[in-house]
Amino acid sequence: MPKLFYTPTSCGAASFIACSTIGLNIDCEQVNIQTHKTSSDQDYYHINPKGNVPCLILDDGTILNENIAVLNWIADQVGLINTNKLAPLNGTQDRYLVQNCLSFIASELHTSIGGLFAPHSEEITTFIRNKCSMKLTYCENILLGGGREFLVGEKPTIADFYLFVVLSWCPGLNLPLVSYPRCQSFVDRISHLPNVIEAKSKMVGNPASIMGPSPSLGEKISSTMQPTVDKVSDAMHSTSEYTKGKFSDLKDKFSGPSTSSTGTMTTGQPTTLSSSTTTIPPAPEDTRPLNERIESRLASAQASAQPTLDKVSDSMKPTVTKVESSIHTFADSTNEKIEDNRPLNERIESKLASAQASAEPTLIKVSEKLKPAVDKVETTITTTAAAANSKIAELQAKFSGPSKINPETTKPFMEDAENKRPIN
């Protein structure tokens, strides 16, 4: 997984905010710019020879250590159909406008305001402040002029996050934005965005990854199934309460003394028993509550059915094993898709190549089905061409004799030919 090195107060914070906004979960680690040590006490110069932040290490070891490059890489991780974009599509005019803003912020505004972090002589400090005033005036009147809420379009982009971080340095450098009301409103607006608030809160905790630990397949399935489980649990609880109520009603109904009418046969005749008939003692009365008697019978039925359940379980075991294998295979392929961090154009080309390969058998079948019709058309064309050639030869033979045209009749045409003008 790619890894971002940043500090919460530097321009690298813009990259963290961008990742958090689109839900891009990559590893991250904070850097102490004064000591050039990472949170894990590594020498940062061994990771990034320039020693600056942000620095993004890609899966293949490629290092991106310029803010504009890192922000563009992050923006390009968003799919084509994802509405949560941080930059317009490459090749569009709006994308070039975003790049234009990024370049100004990086080369003009960042370098000017950032110059005040280092101690200088009074003369040099005055020069830098004058330069900062010029750049802030440009932001006020041009970049944020015309009632714009964001630099390009109606949603914040990677350029807005970068500008927000740089402008947020001004109060601490004795560059109050009160003289630049549009800049101050911009900072207030961005700082109150929910995604920015969430990202800043995450940075305080110095997380090991932008979005936190990646959930396992079991956790993903559990999270997906939990609403259904809760719904079934509620239904079972309601059914249980309803059943208990019915049990209570039946118990109250039949708990009185047993009463019986004179025994009669189905024909309505009195029942007579001889004196020699053996009297069968009644079965002992089960005085347990009705729900306990039902539970007892259910337990007995379950015990008698257990051997059958064991047999079914044994017979289903191969199928269960096969399903588990399929789930793991699906999970592996899903993880591969999730971790596909190639540039957007490479992923699109890969998908197109895959689609073409999968469509190849169908194209071959279509070609085979069309072949008889194509052969028939070719045969018809060949026959027609042969007949036309024969007719042409016949006409040539018919008119190849001596010319019977009157010379006087052709005289005007010959004069035109001598004048080298077209006959018409």
CA distance 171 to 178: 10
Q: Rounding to the nearest 10 degrees, give the CA dihedral for residues 306, 312, 317, 318.
A: 160
pLDDT in tens, the chain (424 residues): 999 999 999 999 999 999 999 999 999 999 999 999 999 999 999 999 999 999 999 999 999 999 999 999 999 998 755 666 899 999 999 999 999 999 999 999 999 999 999 999 999 999 999 999 999 999 999 999 999 999 999 999 999 999 999 999 999 999 999 999 999 999 999 999 999 999 999 999 999 999 887 655 555 566 667 777 777 777 777 776 777 776 777 766 666 554 444 444 444 454 444 444 455 556 567 777 766 777 777 777 777 777 877 776 677 777 767 766 766 666 566 555 545 666 666 777 777 777 777 777 777 777 777 778 777 777 777 777 777 777 777 777 776 655 455 555 545 544 444 555 444 4
Cβ atoms of 72 and 129 closer than 8 Å? no
CA distance 287 to 298: 17
Sequence spans of domains, the chain? 3-204, 345-418
CA distance 35 to 43: 9
The two three-digit tokens of residue 169, written as one number = 């340095």
The answer to whether the predicted template modeling score (pTM) of the entire model surpasses 0.75 is: no
Question: Under CATH, to which class is 3-204 assigned?
Answer: mainly alpha
Please give the single-letter amino acid code of residue 306. Answer: Q
